[in-house]
Chain A
Amino acid sequence: MLTSIPVYAYVGLSAVLFALGLIGVLTRRNAITIFMSIELMLNAANLVFVAYARHNLNMSGQVFVFFVMVVAAAEVAIGLALIVTIFRSKRSIDVDALRQLNG
């Protein structure tokens, strides 16, 4: 009989993924890389949802993952459209080049 992996192992892995996403958002300057880092954060949450859904034998966690994936897809549609728009005007998607508004 194999001993099952404790649920905290999944939480730990998801925390690492989340931290990677967080660091990516804060340090990267390319809009698409920042966006990928945000997706990594959402997937870290998904991992927690499915891990606990299995751990507690409660299927609602898996349903929530679908909700999160649908929202992420909607965000991709809007986000890439905005990035393309700004690339057309500026020929760059470096967020440091966005200096029109001094903030």
Chain B
Amino acid sequence: MTQTEFLVLLPALTLAVAALVVLLADLFLPAERKQLTGWLTLIGFAAAGLSLTTWPAGMAALAFSGMLIADGFASFLTLLFVIAGSVVTVLSLGYLPRFGIERAEAYVLLLLSASGMVLMAQAQDLIMVFLALELLSIPLYVLAGLARPRLSSEESALKYFLLGSFASGILVYGIALVYGATGGHTDFQGIVGIQSGELRLAGLFDPVLMPFGVALVLGGLAFKIAAAPFHMWTPDVYEGAPSVITAFMSVAVKAAGFAALLRVFIQAFPLQSVQWAGAIAILAGLTLIIGNFAALVQNNVKRMLAYSSIAHAGYLLVAVPAAVTQTGANTTLSFDVLGTILFYLLSYGLTTLGAWAVVTTIERREADGESGGLTLDAYRGLWSRRPGLALGMALFMFSLAGLPPTAGFVAKYLVFSVAIQAGLLWLAVLGVITSLVSAGYYLRLVVMMFMRPGEPTVADTWGARLTVGVMAFATLGIGLFPYPVIQMAQRSVMAFLR
């Protein structure tokens, strides 16, 4: 392993080593000092974030025979995974003991899953995408069932596992077909190379098999990002899993799924962009409609946020077809679009983490072991009881609905404008209409908190208060002064390798 390879691998390696350290520490710590494993996890995430500074700025470094890459895209997303992981750890410090599920495995699996996400954002080969996807998914299947023997948690884990491995099966069959169609290539550059110039004429490329492979890869990844019609698992899994884990899934897994989607479709399949852009546009439209309308009728806040995360996958997908435009034999990549998607992922991620932090404070443990305090009614009168939390939640709801002056507004504005520039006017109009619909269910929660009388039971911890405060500050800050963050996102995709 050369020094470059070591540095390229460093963030993922740091997370994996931290997982092993936490696992070992758990062995020697007495039961009353288990909190320490959480703090070790935080140190692990911080170290992974710091290790990003060793990456060469402004350029891309390939390693491991072109399997992994260290570029701005990967480092931006790694930063997002590290933020999500740290926030979830901070929330878990209070949440897990309160629900009687303080197990160090939670932190170990969280770190391992995050290392899979980092590798996913760095992947340059379809096999690497598959392995990273499994590394991030398998720990999450267990995490969803962490609250065992609570039945809804076990059920959520089994459903997630069955549908997740079903999606992996579809993805790996797609990869196999691409491998066959390209005469033995799974690396992104090789897949593009075999289809152009003299190599294409040599007859190694199979144009009949290729579209099937691309379609199956799209189907497999659409499951992971919870795009309709592959979203059915999302509400059940999000509702049953412990809330802190759901927060991690709705932010980090979604970002990792989009990382893979962008890497694969922009770097490996740019020559099929006419076909997949149409398919993704249709998926985006369906996801917007189904996510937003289904969220309207939910009475459970976790299910409502699950459908909201489906809807946001739809908004993100709106921008994806605009990323590659094909004129004749030339494909041009739009850096604006990639930057927009990264900015959207960041502002959605920060807002959603804040919203889930509030959900963990209202959630309580019932006598039968199941979770209570998850209905909209549980938020009645939050404003009179805990004005800080209520204000924070209102801000997050405004941001998710896309109202100014929040980060969500800027993100949606950017997505719709790139869609219009790419000639996808119908999709942008659909996006605006469904945004108006979404205000219906987001504001319903705000009305409950501010205008309905009630005595909510709130069990907040310093972790939840800190998270709500920081995320509210970030949501408002990015909303008022978006340019530095937009520029950061745009700069980070400049080195996106073709």
Could you tell me which A residues sit within 8 Å of B by CB distance? Answer: 7, 11, 14, 18, 21, 25, 31, 34-35, 38, 41-42, 44-46, 48-49, 51-53, 55-56, 58, 60-61, 64, 67-68, 71, 74-75, 78-79, 82-83, 85-86, 88-90, 95, 98, 100-101, 103
Contacts and interface: CB of A to CB of B under 8 A. Distances in A.
A82 B157 contact: yes
B66 interface: no
Contacts of A60: 184, 186
B130 interface: yes
A86 B184 contact: no
B345 to A, nearest CB: 26
Interface residues of B, number: 43
B166 A101 contact: no
B172 A78 contact: no
Given A38-B169, A67-B127, A101 B180 contact: no
A46 to B, nearest CB: 8
A71 B149 contact: no
Contact of A71 (B131, B184, B209, B240): B131
Contact of A101 (B142, B152, B162, B179): B152
Interface string B149-186: 10110111111011001101110110111011001101
A91 B177 CA distance: 40
Nearest to B233: A103
Say what secondary structure dominates the interface of chain A: helix
Interface string B191-226: 000000000000010000100000000000000000
Contact of A83 (B131, B142, B158, B177): B158
B165 A45 contact: no
A45 B173 contact: yes
A89 B236 contact: no
Given A78-B138, A78-B141, A100-B240, A38 B165 contact: yes
Nearest to B157: A82
A74 B142 CA distance: 12
Contact of A44 (B173, B179, B186): B173
A29 to B, nearest CB: 11
Which of the listed residues A21, A45, A56, A68 has the most CB atoms from chain B within 10 Å of its own CB? A45
A48 B141 CA distance: 28
B165 to A, nearest CB: 5
Given A45-B172, A60-B184, A98-B158, A82 B179 contact: no
Contacts of B186: 60, 64
Given A7-B180, A48-B179, A78-B138, A86 B154 contact: yes
12 contacts: A42-B168, A42-B172, A45-B175, A56-B184, A64-B175, A64-B186, A67-B127, A75-B161, A75-B168, A79-B161, A100-B152, A101-B159
Contact of B149 (A52, A78, A89): A89
9 closest A-B pairs by CB = A58-B184, A41-B169, A48-B176, A103-B236, A52-B180, A45-B176, A101-B236, A45-B173, A56-B184
